[in-house]
Amino acid sequence: MKETRGVFWFMNNRVPPNKRYQPTEYEHAANCATHALWIIPSLLGSSVLHFQSEDQWERLSAWVYGAGLSSLFIISTLFHTVAWKKSHLRSVEHCFHMCDRMVIYFFIAASYAPWLNLRELGPWGCHMRWLVWVMASFGTTYVFFFHERYKITELICYTVMGVFPALVILSMPEQSGLCELLVGGACYCLGMVFFKSDGIVPFAHAIWHLFVAMGASVHYYAIWKYLYAQPPNQVQTSR
C-alpha cells in the first residue's frame, strides 16, 4: 500500500494502535543518529567507573551498569539501522525490534544496580538487589511471547519496572544523589509522551531517544559523583 504523507513532509500519517508507524527517511536517520551518538560516550563512561572502582563490588556494579547502558544504545542503533535499511528482511527486523524492547528492562535493572549494591538501603534494599533482575527477566519473557500485542500492558510493565525499585531508593538513609535520580526519572517520563506521539509530532521517536539519553546522562552523573568519585563510608557494612 502506498504511504500517505501527513501535513509535514518529514512525518507520515498516524497509524491505528495495532499497526506500526512507518517513519520517513529523515525520521529513520534521526532515530539512528540520536542513539548512535551515545555509544562511544557510554563505553567511555563505563570504563571511567571501572577504573575508579576500589573493590570488587564497585567493579562488578560498574560492569553491570556499563553493560546495560552501552547495550541500550548499541542495540537501539542496530535495530533502527535494520528498520531503515533492511526492513524487507521481516524476521531479522522483528528479532532486532524484540531485542530493542528487551534491552530496556535490563537497562532499567542495570541503572538501579549501583545504588542497590553500593548504598546502605535497609532490609528491603537487599531483596530489591535480586528482585530487579527477576522483574527484568519477566519483562523479557513477556516481550518474547507478546511483543507488540498489548501496547498499553507493555507501557505499564516499563513504568512498574522503572518506578518500583525507586521506592526503595527513596527510603535510603543517605540521600545524596536523590535529586539527580528524580530529574533523570522525570526525563524518562516526559520522553514517554513522545514515545506515544508517532505521526502526531514530527521526529517523535528521535525526541524520545534524546529524552532517554538525557535521563541516562543525569543518572550516570549521579552514579559517578555519589558512588564512585566520593563513595560513602557506610556502604562497607551492607555488602
Nearest distance from C-beta of residue 100 to Zn ion, angstroms: 6
Nearest distance from C-beta of residue 77 to Zn ion, angstroms: 9
70 vs 76 by CB, closer to Zn ion: 76
Closest residue to Zn ion using C-beta atoms: 76
78 vs 131 by CB, closer to Zn ion: 78
Secondary structure (3-state) at 52: helix
Residue numbers in the known binding site are 80, 205, 209
Here the contacts of 54-59 (C-beta below 8 Å, separation 24 or greater) are 54/231, 57/117, 57/118, 57/239, 58/118, 58/227, 58/228, 58/231
Contacts of 220 (CB under 8 A, 6+ apart): 45, 69
Nearest distance from C-beta of residue 198 to Zn ion, angstroms: 11
Residue numbers in the known binding site for Zn(2+) are 80, 205, 209
Nearest distance from C-beta of residue 83 to Zn ion, angstroms: 9
76 vs 117 by CB, closer to Zn ion: 76
Nearest distance from C-beta of residue 102 to Zn ion, angstroms: 13
63-82 residues in contact with Zn ion (CB under 5 A) are: 76
72 vs 169 by CB, closer to Zn ion: 72
Q: How many chain residues touch Zn ion (CB under 5 A)?
A: 1
Helix (H) and strand (E) counts for the chain? 8, 0
Binding mask 29-68 for Zn ion (x = CB under 5 A): ----------------------------------------
Q: How far is the C-alpha of 175 from the C-alpha of 152, rounded, in Å? A: 33
The alpha carbons of the chain give a radius of gyration, in whole angstroms, of 19
Q: How far is the C-alpha of 34 from the C-alpha of 208, rounded, in Å? A: 9
Q: How far is the C-alpha of 110 from the C-alpha of 133, rounded, in Å? A: 9
**Residues lying near Zn ion in the complex (CB under 5 A):** 76
